[in-house]
Amino acid sequence: METIHLIKENFTKHITNFNNKELINFKNSHFNNVLNFGLPQRGNKKYLNFEFIKYLSNENINLKSNNNYILDVEEIFKCDVPDLNVFTIFTINGFYYKNNNLRHLQNEGVIIKTISNEQQLQDYVSNSSNNNDFLSDLVDSFFNEIILIHIPKGIKLSKPLQIINLIYEYYSIQSYIKFILLNESEEENDIILCNHSIGDNVYIFGININVILKANSKINIYQMQNINDKTFHFVNSFVNQEYNSKLKIVSVTLRSGIFRNNTEISLNNQLAESKIYGLWLTDKEQITEYHTNIEHNSPNTSSLQLFKSILDNKATGIYSGKIVVKKNSQKVTAYQSNKNLLISKEAKIKSLPHLEIYADDVKCSHGSATGKLDDDALFYLISRGIPHKEACILLMEAFSSEIVNKVDIESLKNSLQHLVNKRLRGELEYCHRCNICKTDQ
């Protein structure tokens, strides 16, 4: 069956699960974009890899339209997800987990709710629109629920908020979910997003995150992906920043069959600041992509990007980073850097940093470097009695630590470093403490 025809057939079934007029109109609008723009074609600058289309063409990957599992979250939480002192909420297969305990978060003043069937949906959605893009429109057509996270002005969480997004079924499924994060607080708060697959089935797992940062607000977002080798997983983040808002994102991808991370940030008023860091570890025939687009729409704004990758075997990595400084956006500072380690001769990386500057009083730079492990450093370690394999791992750990060290939460930083080290040693194929994963092996 033709891919677009299959997607259309799935949407016809999916939309019957909804009865809210505003929601149906919203979904129909984005699905019309999917039909009008069609599948990404070569020459589309947003897409440099097309392997994911084979997943969308697979008639055996069923669209998940209900969630009947009552899982023991304590068992899931032990699955290589950092054991932190956090507030935790779960989503399962694109649905808000019905047994989430929100009492403590509500006491802190944070509002978390699904807005799929509420009249104020249009108010939130209109403030968090996406740029037209095939995969983001796909999520906005097929999401099961929209989850609103609202941090009001003056709220300081006593501990970070961790959101664990799970995909789990005994057969192949596709699942989509949408988040809206509205942050009004001038206090610095932390959100941890963990995307995790359970079992070894083929999945499509899509997430849209719309972030609205009001004037003087601050937020740190830490993302971690650990998805099985058979899954196509993608995350689209759209950020709108107002006056003097501060954003930091640290994204670490440990494993996935095909993973695509797309981040688009609009710095819309003076003193808005964004810092984005990314690390991905890719081997076998895995494909990992990071795409960024930062627009400086106002003077006196700043951005910083640092992305690093380690690729082994026949892995493929793609980094496409774009900085746009609009006309009259003077006194802008924007820096972008991509560094890559190729461990094998068959590993490939495509690095495309890009600047578009339409103002003359700015400080902007971009750079890209790709190479292998340093021979002198390797020789030094081996000459000190360290075995060759261990010496290589130590150098890779040092290379990756620059990103991991950007995490400000000490316990999360230590846990991530531990997971990165396990990944480099090939020890992260399965969770070792999770009963569900043990039975699936």
Q: What are the start-end ranges of the E strands in 272-331?
A: 273-282, 287-296, 302-311, 316-325
Task: Please provide residue 192's backbone torsions phi and psi, each rounded to the nearest 5 degrees.
Answer: -115, 120
For 298-310, the pLDDT digits (tens) are 999 999 999 999 9
Checking if the pLDDT of 94 tops 80, the result is yes
- State which amino acid sits at residue 36: N
Amino acid, res. 101? N
Residues 6+ apart with CB under 8 A from 141: 11, 14, 27, 30, 31, 34
Cβ atoms of 295 and 326 closer than 8 Å: yes
**Cα Rg of the chain (Å, integer):** 21
pLDDT category, 313, cuts 50, 70, 90? very high
pLDDT (average), residues 381-396: 92
Locate 297 and state its tokens. 């729409």
* C-alpha distances in Å from residue 149, one per residue of 115, 145, 281: 10, 13, 30
437, pLDDT greater than 60: no
Contact 280, 400 (CB under 8 A): no
Higher pLDDT, 137 or 73: 137
Q: What is the pLDDT of residue 114?
A: 86
Note every long-range contact of 398-403, with CB atoms under 8 Å and residues 24 or more positions apart, other chains counting: 399/308, 399/310, 399/339, 399/341, 400/279, 400/281, 400/308, 400/310, 400/424, 402/306, 402/308, 403/250, 403/252, 403/277, 403/278, 403/279, 403/306, 403/308
For residue 153, give the 3-state DSSP assignment. coil
Please tell me the distance from the alpha carbon of residue 321 to that of residue 334, in angstroms, as a whole number. Answer: 12
What is the arithmetic mean of pLDDT over 171-175? 94
Amino acid 68: pLDDT: 64
397 with 279: CB under 8 angstroms?
no
Rounded mean pLDDT of 5-12? 95
Check residue 441 and give its pLDDT. 40
Asked whether the predicted pLDDT for residue 130 surpasses 80, the reply is no
pLDDT for 46: 85
Q: What is the mean pLDDT of residues 65-94?
A: 70
pLDDT at 179: 95
Q: What is the DSSP track for 171-212? A: S-EEEEEEEEEEE--SSEEEEEEEEEEESS--EEEEEEEEEE
Write down the pLDDT at residue 84. 76
Quick one: pLDDT at residue 394? 93
Q: What's residue 43's pLDDT? A: 79
Q: What is the pLDDT of residue 19?
A: 85
Asked if pLDDT for residue 27 goes beyond 60, the answer is yes
* Res 439: pLDDT: 40
- The H-assigned helical ranges of 15-172 are 21-37, 53-56, 73-77, 103-108, 121-126, 134-142
pLDDT at 233: 96
| Rounded average pLDDT over 244-266 | 95
What are the DSSP calls for 254-270, one per residue? EE-SEEEEEEEEEE-ST
pLDDT of residue 433: 41
> What are 414's two structure tokens?
């230590």
pLDDT per residue as tens digits for the range 343-378: 999 999 999 999 999 999 999 999 999 999 999 999
Q: Could you give the angle at which helices 21-37 and 3-14 cross, rounded to 10 degrees?
A: 180
pLDDT above 70 for 75: no
Main-chain dihedrals φ then ψ at residue 66, nearest 5 degrees: -150, 165
Q: How confident is the model at residue 419 (pLDDT cuts 50, 70, 90)?
A: confident
State which amino acid sits at residue 16. T
Percent of the chain predicted with pLDDT > 70: 89
CA atoms within 13 A on the CB side of 13: 10
Is the pLDDT at 166 greater than 50, yes or no? yes
Least confident of 69-78, 288-297, 366-375: 69-78
Global pTM? Answer: 0.93
Three-state DSSP class for residue 364: strand
According to DSSP, the β-strands at 62-63 and 258-267 are unpaired
Provide the pLDDT for residue 80: 53
Contact partners, residue 421, CB within 8 Å, separation at least 6: 393, 397
DSSP one-letter code for 67: -
Residues in the chain: 441
Q: What is the mean pLDDT of residues 73-88?
A: 64
Contact by Cβ (8 Å): 409, 160: yes
Average pLDDT over all residues of the chain: 88
Residue with tokens 């940030």, as numbered in its chain: 265
Confidence of residue 431 (pLDDT cuts 50, 70, 90): very low
Are residues 35 and 4 in contact, defined by beta-carbon separation less than 8 angstroms? yes
Kindly tell me if the per-residue pLDDT of 72 is higher than 70: no
Nearest Cα to Cα of residue 149 among 182, 192, 184: 182
Q: What is the pLDDT of residue 231?
A: 94
